[in-house]
Structure 1
Amino acid sequence: MSSARERLTRLLSLVPYLDAHPGADLEETAAYFGIDSDTLIDDLQLLFVTGRPGHMPDDLIDASWEGGQIFISNAEEVSVPVRLSAEEAGVLVLALDMLSSLPGLDSEAVATAASKLRVAAGENLRTAVDVSPIDADEELLSALRQSVEDGSALSIDYYVGSRDELTTRTIAPTRLVPGADWYVDAWCYSAGAPRRFALGRIRSWEPAAHPPMSVSEATTNSYEVTLGLAAGGAWLADELDVTNREYLDGGDTSVRIRLLVHSVDWLSRFLLCHADVITEIDDTEAVAAALRRLG
């Protein structure tokens, strides 16, 4: 069964399609939208209560499919294909520009998609769409990308605003993350745990050797765990070092992820912070550590 979001998306495409193809074959239309004929009929029946506010007969869409041919009427206001607003187009172009800066992607394909979107949005909106990615020090970005690719470490001077303090740390970057600022996820040897650093707060940097691990770190190798996240916690998948994600068949946004973990101690604290949205985990050691913290 389709989720409410999937059905709404399909209906917004179905009406202009049927308006442009009067007498469309029922079975062929269902196949075109990747559904069966019974689901399509359910969608057509929903159109009878869809239309402008007022709910008078002339306000609602009319549909018929007798003889296997589909006809709709009174659907002029929703028969135009959905188009992006200026804000939506700008956000997508900005996202593509940021993606082109990340390592491991086909930058040429991303740039081509962004270029096509700019042209299409400009034609639709009759105005130029001009957005730029987040400003960041190009030398710093280049150093971090190189560090991510070859697994090297960096020594950074990092400003902590909450304490008005400039700290020196040795980090092993794992990935770059665009957001309100550019961020880098890294193993911080000073904290002995994964950390996320804002590039705007990195004052200086230089190559560094990986420090020798402490006894506790040496006994805790990086490993992967499987976590299930309820719909209310699905956003966490975008904040973590996820190696795989699978959206569950529940009609919502619940998700199962594979997560790279560097420390049982960190994972146990994560479990306690987000216990209300975690539906499953295959790491009994971390669960036991979390329970000990509660005790």
Structure 2
Amino acid sequence: MDRTARMVSVVTGAAGGIGRWIALGLARAGHHVILVCRNSESGNAVATWIAEQAPASSTELALTDLSSLRATQRLGREIAAAHPRLSLLVNNAGTFTARRQMTTEGHEMILAVNHLAPLILTDAVEGALLAGSPSRIVNLGSSTSDRARIDLEDLELTRHWGMLRAYGQSKLAMIMSTFARAERLRGSGVVANVVHPGMVATGLIREGGAIGIAWRLMAPFLRTEEQGADTPLHVALAPDWATITGAYVKDRIAVRPNPRALDATLAAEVDAITRALAARTICSSTTD
């Protein structure tokens, strides 16, 4: 198939885990897949793997560090300039740290990678998604958001940081901003949904310490990475999902999310606060 005739999709965190299986599924469906990876070594490896699994596939690498909001915005603008019509954005990349860490730009790491970066990247390519409509945004969620709370006065958890608390809050904030975007774009031809892939045996199993031990103990009961990619791919490709927006999806079915995510006023507050938080970094880059 001529590359110019293919639908163009973007997948973050494509170098491994669920991301590479999502990228492979899209490539097999005939999409030109932009593989967002952290470095060329892992990026070239997944591109080669996809080519071996799907010889007729079409991919390209896009390298960035998603913990940097400036780099993330720059990448999004470059993608939109090179591909002014996008069919799909899958914000799959995420992180989970055992200790509170800060990015080089001064943000709490989990919030930056799991929520702020997808927000900034989606903003940067939104025009291309609108131009390529009907198009879709698929954001990867987590069941840790189901009971999470949002601290509007301390989103970066400077006072009471906890591993699961930080992760759950980042994913709940992402759901809220996704729903806010879905409502804003309703009727535009661009749909935005959040997908929980299930409990998946990811690279965390290879981690040291308590996190690695816990995940290795659970490994027999977890889904494989390929199985974890099933629902994200379904929401990304199935005709039934072309017009559904603002949903939280588990096992291919829209389910009720954390009730806080359905509070439109709270969701708007979270979206505004996180945008302001990110904007301080983005705006400062123009004056450096």
Note whether the superposition's TM-score is higher than 0.5: no
More strand by share: 1
More helix by share: 2
**TM-score, normalised via structure 1 length:** 0.27
Which structure carries more relative contact order (alpha carbon 8 Å, separation 6+)?
Answer: 2
